Amino acid sequence: MKHIAIIGVGLIGGSFALDIKAKYPEVDINAIDTNKTHIEEAKSLGVIDKEISFEDLNQMDLVVIAIPVDATLKILPKVLDNIADNTIVFDAGSTKEDICKAIKNHKNRRNFLAAHPIAGTEHSGPKAAINGLFKDKTNIICEVEETAFKLQEKALTLFKDLGMRIRYMNPKAHDKHIAYVSHLSHISAFMLGKTVIEKEKNERDIFDMAGSGFESTVRLAKSSPAMWTPIFQQNKINVIETLEEYINNLKHFKTLMEADDFQSVFQEMESTNHIKKILNGIK
């Protein structure tokens, strides 16, 4: 690979640019971003080499789309309209079903690989880009059979070179599972932050009492609403289902406390403690 385009030079796109440049120093990193400040920041930080236009995409070996999922629905067909036959395009969106449907009948569907690298932080913009973000992280690939074999191999080789674990899944299953392990976590963090902020209006010193437990739990509430609102919208049915289950568990916990049934409270927490083993196994 000699020429790569990053569409969206924020945390994910910028981190891909840094890691690709570190692995393949000879590669030319180009970028498209509607935010011109991001382009200038990315150039000054050495994240990208130069800005290009959609018309230049036919010169690219690889195109990475790292923008909010609602924007991906609009931009992806335009990207596929402008690429060469040997260009591989992949996205990094947290939803997959709507994106796969959007280009199902596109003449260049074979050039697209639907991907979701499960990596990131609560920060955004070019300054948030970091080296090694994707090392030892799982990358979910959907509908791999729809991508031309030689082109998918180009992307899969890159993912492996960056140290990613590959997992294959259909788009519907991906969206359902990710609602539980990612989307619900972000909603919980946002709503916990909202609850505390509303209380803080009357108790100014409440944040002085906030320890590392609160900070780590609410960390995701610092994530970009511009990115997460479209995710919740595209995965609405699955997210609502997870919220219903979560709310029922919260109500049950509250009922146990109201009944002074702290033996059951203990058992509820103890039965959940085995999640440590599950997460350690994943790591």
Return the pLDDT at 281: 65
Report the distance separating Cα 93 and Cα 106, nearest Å.
19
Return the pLDDT at 199: 74
Judged against a pLDDT cut of 70, whether residue 181 lies above it is answered with yes
Stated as kind and residue range, the H or E segment containing 140 is strand 138-142
Residue matched to tokens 């790569």: 4
Candidates 3.40.50.720, 3.40.50.12280, 3.60.10.10, 3.40.50.970; CATH matching 3-170: 3.40.50.720
Q: Where in the chain is the domain with CATH 1.10.3660.10?
A: 174-282
Q: Where in the chain is the domain with CATH 3.40.50.720?
A: 3-170
Of 200, 179, 162, 205, give the one whose Cα is nearest residue 27. 162
Please report how the helices 262-272 and 236-258 are oriented relative to each other, as an axis angle in degrees rounded to 10.
Answer: 140
The lowest-confidence range among 81-90, 98-107, 218-227, 251-260 is 218-227
pLDDT, tens only, 125-166:
999 999 999 999 999 999 999 999 999 999 999 999 999 999
Confidence of residue 202 (pLDDT cuts 50, 70, 90): low
pLDDT, tens only, 34-71:
999 999 999 999 999 999 999 999 999 999 999 999 99
Judged against a pLDDT cut of 80, whether residue 204 lies above it is answered with no
Report the distance separating Cα 179 and Cα 173, nearest Å.
10
Return the pLDDT at 256: 97
- Which residues make Cβ contacts (< 8 Å) with residue 167, sequence separation at least 6? 138, 139, 140, 141
Question: Into which CATH architecture does domain 174-282 fall?
Answer: Orthogonal Bundle (1.10)
What is the average pLDDT value for the chain, to the nearest integer? 93
Return the pLDDT at 214: 74
Judged against a pLDDT cut of 60, whether residue 283 lies above it is answered with no
Return the pLDDT at 278: 65
